Amino acid sequence: MISTFPNAAAVDLSRIRLEIRSLQPRLVEWRRRLHQRPELGFKEKLTAEFIAQKLSEWGITHQTGIAKTGIVAIIEGKQQDSPIQKPKVLAIRADMDALPIQEENEVPYRSQHDGMMHACGHDGHIAIALGTAYFLSQHREAFPGTVKIIFQPAEEGPGGAKPMIEAGVLTNPDVDAIIGLHLWNNLPLGTLGIRTGALMAATESFTCKIHGKGGHGAIPHQTVDSIVVGAQIVNALQTIVSRNVSPIDSAVVTVGRFHAGKAVNVIADTAEIAGTVRYFNPELGKLIPQRIEQIISGICASHGAKYELDYNGLYPPVINNADIAEMVRSVGLDIVETPLGIVPECQTMGGEDMSFFLQAVPGCYFFLGSANPDLGLAYPHHHPRFDFDETALGMGVEMFVRCVEKFYA
């Protein structure tokens, strides 16, 4: 196979890097344009138009309107292998949506959409994926296969990955592996968070309505106090992580809402508690909801209260395939130039619907360090002052392009 990305030749590596560096002003321009016009999940209309317009401009085959606003671009390399051999397909995924947050940054490219903001960096993900698409479309001779670039809506909820898979984005042609990245302000610019196995946690939620028996605050013996019952439930739920989950595993059960009562002298008839559950080990997906229900039902029974429990699994854990993670890591090592630049201790209990793609095909999701505290670019994701060092955009394109090279090597 003749490649314009020969692995060993440092001269060619620097040529790829130089060519990608020359794209930097355009990456920044695209990212800022997208940043000015953030849109919420499944409403990424202008965003999708922008992406489709660029792909058309570059002569890249693409399909729009998948799972409402999603887009899939297909870049076929020049086939250099034997015609009998089925060419491999690598998918690259970028999410497109923004958040319902009012931007507080005073930058020329600040959000022009009131109450909406790209506060997680998905504008950067689109720019990186577009840069990768452009580069690959200009170097089709360099890979003997097909690269599918998936622009996915609604990552922040309710989730666009699952409907895109249901719409068939991983088939025709069938995807062999998938990669994706998240700009990451928990890591400094110039580093990468890459690991095998679980990277991000499953995201689930529950709501429980407790039905007691209301009454006069001074006559408690004639009531079933839903606040007392709820308080015991909140306390007992803490024992799930401390006493049911192995200390080697990580999990979170957080009660984020407890609503009950109106008046100081009235015992509340009903109380509602709601919370979020996070874990890496898929086995806990059975244990935790089971324990939540046992605790609620036991405490309610002991007080003569009734309950309604609603448990929702939103996203499964993000679990990286060992082989693809190793491929991404070896590419990353060349890019960060020191093993210390790869941070495997980058797990987070945050969730991501990239997990659905990773359940369907082997793949690797990784973090691209984007914080630069010296420039004031270190606010956490989902913060109204979130912003990142745009130098990371070129690094992201180089990671994807070199992963394509490695995948077909």
The region of 39-47, 114-122, 172-180, 282-290 touching Ni ion under the rule CB under 5 A is 114-122
Q: Rounded to the nearest whole angstrom, what is the least distance from the CB of residue 122 to Ni ion in the complex?
A: 6
Rounded Cα distance, 113 and 121, in Å: 16
* Cβ closest to Ni ion, residue 120 vs residue 200: 120
Q: Rounded to the nearest whole angstrom, what is the least distance from the CB of residue 95 to Ni ion in the complex?
A: 6
Longest dimension (CA), the chain: 86
User: What's the length of the chain?
Assistant: 409
Among all residues, whose Cβ is closest to Ni ion? Answer: 120
Site size for Ni ion, by CB under 5 A?
A: 1
* Cβ closest to Ni ion, residue 201 vs residue 327: 201
The region of 14-22, 26-34, 53-61, 116-124 touching Ni ion under the rule CB under 5 A is 116-124
Q: 319 and 362 in contact (C-beta within 8 Å)?
A: no
Q: Rounded to the nearest whole angstrom, what is the least distance from the CB of residue 383 to Ni ion in the complex?
A: 12
Q: Rounded to the nearest whole angstrom, what is the least distance from the CB of residue 153 to Ni ion in the complex?
A: 13
Q: 202 and 317 in contact (C-beta within 8 Å)?
A: yes
Residue whose token pair is 């800022």: 32
Q: Rounded to the nearest whole angstrom, what is the least distance from the CB of residue 382 to Ni ion in the complex?
A: 8
The region of 36-44, 119-127, 163-171, 244-252 touching Ni ion under the rule CB under 5 A is 119-127
* Cβ closest to Ni ion, residue 241 vs residue 399: 399
* Cβ closest to Ni ion, residue 120 vs residue 224: 120
Active site residue 249: no
Q: 148 and 74 in contact (C-beta within 8 Å)?
A: yes
The region of 63-71, 118-126, 264-272, 305-313 touching Ni ion under the rule CB under 5 A is 118-126
φ, ψ (nearest 5 deg) of residue 176: -90, -35
Closest CA to 179 of 334, 44, 67, 327: 327
Select which of 39, 97, 204, 389 is catalytic: 97
Residue 400, classified by CB atoms within 10 Å of its CB into exposed (0-12), middle (13-18) or buried (19+), is buried
Q: 82 and 399 in contact (C-beta within 8 Å)?
A: no
* Strand-strand pairing, 197-200 and 192-193: unpaired
The answer to whether 120 contacts Ni ion (rule: CB under 5 A) is: yes
Select which of 39, 44, 103, 155 is catalytic: 155
Q: Rounded to the nearest whole angstrom, what is the least distance from the CB of residue 161 to Ni ion in the complex?
A: 12
* Cβ closest to Ni ion, residue 120 vs residue 319: 120
Q: 396 and 183 in contact (C-beta within 8 Å)?
A: yes
Q: 115 and 104 in contact (C-beta within 8 Å)?
A: no
Active site residue 141: no
* Cβ closest to Ni ion, residue 182 vs residue 195: 182
Rounded Cα distance, 41 and 80, in Å: 40
Binding site for Ni ion (CB under 5 A): 120
Residues annotated catalytic, as ranges: 97, 155
